[in-house]
Chain A
Amino acid sequence: MPLVKTPKASFAQKLKRFFFVDLIKGMGLTLKYNLGAIIDKDAVAGKGIYTEQYPKVRPDVAPRFHGAPRLNMDPETHDTLCIACNLCAIACPEDCIDVIAMDVEIVVAGKPRRKKVLDEFIFDTSRCMFCALCQEACPTSCLELTQDFELATYSRAGFVWNREMLEQGRETVKYTS
């Protein structure tokens, strides 16, 4: 197990300190960085620069990112994929999902049946932790947390998303340049 050693001030070290070697070494390194930012071609091309010019340049958000919720629809029929099973609401630790279902009469093979369909879906993003447990609980890949991260609104009521907002997405101004 290595011991960390506090530097003992030997004669050579005292001499170094007298000639400001420690400061010159540190300043040299920072100067190298400063010159690098000016001269380095990589830096000019954006490789050496770590600052993202948001909102002019939009960040590259990872595919797995847990952002704004969305209710997915069948791409062909545009019907909701939600089967109103309520599993997401049960899985949510913060209890911020309300699934409101209604019974409809349908006819299956000539016999009348009752079927539970989705009526309204309330998602309170102000209490959401974006833990993605609801997304994992969903059996039909309907509820999904998307890459959209701009969730600020002007009122508390704006944080409560209804079915229409969850399906169509919320209109936000995207400042580009």
Chain B
Amino acid sequence: MHQVEIATTQETLLDSPEMVLNMGPQHPSTHGVLRVVLRLDGETVIDLDCDIGYLHRGMEKIAENRMYTMIAPYWDRLDYIAAVSNGLVWVETVEQMMGLDVPPRAHYLRTILTELNRIASHLLWLATHALDIGAITVLLWALREREEILKIFERQFGARLTCHAWRVGGMPNDAYDDFHKDVKQFVNNFPKRIDEYETVLSENRIWLSRTVGIGVIAAEDAIAIGLSGPALRGSGVAWDVRKSRPYAAYADMDFDIPLGENGDTYDRYLVRLEEMRQSRRIVDQALENLPDGPVNAKLPKIVKPPVGDYYHSIEGPKGEIGCYIVSDGTAQPWRVRVRPPSFVNLQALRQMCIGHLVADVVAIIGTLDIVLGEIDR
């Protein structure tokens, strides 16, 4: 572990006591309404504490008072950057409770569109992370590519951000007419774009000095905290729900899980860039093998899962999104609990930041890729 010697009691002519600094909740670099209380010695972070809950909307409680089919649009608003993935976890959990057989075409379309959503989420992460560190150019380029994905979403789902993409048992609509052409065009153009980001960032001396060795977390610590997603894989732990518990059509796909070595901010950056390339590979494969047929399973008039409790998780862009539902046999869930990846990943912030400078806190919050809508729910 990267540790910096901290001299807390320095005997100087001028007495310099520790300082407590409030960062947020309204701060451009905390990516939402996150308040971080920092204890500083000069510019070095000695200790920090996170204050969350500013965006609490009571999603889990709302879900207790809605029918199973109505809850999916609320789930989009957990992690609004990855609304398609979040909607999928709800829908798939209910389908497993009901024991529904979703047609393969729906599974393949779900795979394509969630992977596009993963790319969109990683692009927004790259844009804001680079902006936090000081590279503005990448923001404009990454948002340009994200726009193409959002246009596909608008044509397919009818909305750009909170798409309400899935219904229990399948999809609201089949793929639109030019779907194949639009996705193929994106898939063909995208590798060139990632190479451009790499040209600007990967060897850039400013980028390297701001990210290499910053926010290191060892594999054991990452597992102990319960990190998931790129934050975990950056430390070299090969854990991906798409591989270990395949859902949708991931069992048929051929892709690799990129792993980091050092578990620092730079490795997590490389892991996410490589993940975008792998996602592009998955989209390409799924598009080639897209089967024909219906996109909806036969659904009873009122969705009433049998009594019991169920847990299902998928690999979202930020990590493992889980959904735990307790059913009492009625049309409304008795209790719902979300396992939000950002909430768990944020717990590593303290360990990552101690010993670094205040400017590095901004970089580390960026590298964790948190969304406050999901943390506070």
Docked Cα-Cα span, A131 to B271, in Å, equals: 34
Q: How many residues of B contact A (CB 8 A)?
A: 47
Q: Chain B 289-315, CB within 8 Å of chain A: the 1/0 string?
A: 000000000000000000000000000
Say whether B267 contacts A4, CB under 8 Å: yes
Q: How many residues of A contact B (CB 8 A)?
A: 31
Question: Which segment, of B24-32, B149-157, B360-368, faces chain A?
Answer: B149-157
Min CB distance A25 to B, Å, is: 6
B274 is an interface residue with CB less than 8 A from chain A: yes
Say whether B156 contacts A64, CB under 8 Å: yes
A23 is an interface residue with CB less than 8 A from chain B: yes
Min CB distance B291 to A, Å, is: 22
A35 is an interface residue with CB less than 8 A from chain B: no
Say whether A3 contacts B259, CB under 8 Å: yes
B238 is an interface residue with CB less than 8 A from chain A: yes
Min CB distance A62 to B, Å, is: 4
Min CB distance A143 to B, Å, is: 14
Within 8 A of A (CB), among B199-229: 199-200, 202-205, 208, 212
Min CB distance B344 to A, Å, is: 22
Given contacts A2-B259, A4-B260, A6-B262, contact A62 B73 (CB under 8 A): no
Min CB distance A86 to B, Å, is: 15
Docked Cα-Cα span, A87 to B120, in Å, equals: 35
User: Which chain A positions have C-beta within 8 A of B202?
Assistant: 7
Q: Chain B 172-186, CB within 8 Å of chain A: the 1/0 string?
A: 110010000000000
A159 is an interface residue with CB less than 8 A from chain B: no
User: Which chain A positions have C-beta within 8 A of B158?
Assistant: 62, 64-66, 132, 145
User: Which chain A positions have C-beta within 8 A of B252?
Assistant: none
A29 is an interface residue with CB less than 8 A from chain B: yes
Say whether A6 contacts B267, CB under 8 Å: yes
B164 is an interface residue with CB less than 8 A from chain A: yes
User: Which chain A positions have C-beta within 8 A of B159?
Assistant: 65-66, 130
In the complex, residue of chain A having the shortest beta-carbon distance to the beta carbon of B266: A6
A152 is an interface residue with CB less than 8 A from chain B: no
Given contacts A26-B199, A50-B144, A50-B147, contact A5 B154 (CB under 8 A): no
Question: When the two chains form the complex, which single residue of B157, B200, B270 contacts A29, counting CB atoms closer than 8 Å?
Answer: B200
In the complex, residue of chain A having the shortest beta-carbon distance to the beta carbon of B153: A62
Say whether B238 contacts A62, CB under 8 Å: no
* Besides A29-B199, A132-B172, 10 new A-B residue pairs in contact (Cβ under 8 A), listed by A number: A1-B257, A4-B259, A4-B270, A6-B264, A22-B204, A29-B196, A62-B158, A129-B74, A129-B162, A133-B164
7 nearest A-B residue pairs (beta carbon) = A4-B270, A131-B73, A93-B70, A64-B158, A22-B203, A131-B164, A66-B158
A–B Cβ pairs within 8 angstroms, 23 of them: A1-B256, A1-B257, A3-B236, A4-B258, A4-B259, A4-B260, A5-B261, A6-B266, A6-B267, A6-B270, A7-B202, A16-B203, A26-B199, A62-B151, A65-B158, A66-B158, A91-B70, A93-B67, A93-B71, A130-B164, A132-B158, A132-B172, A133-B70
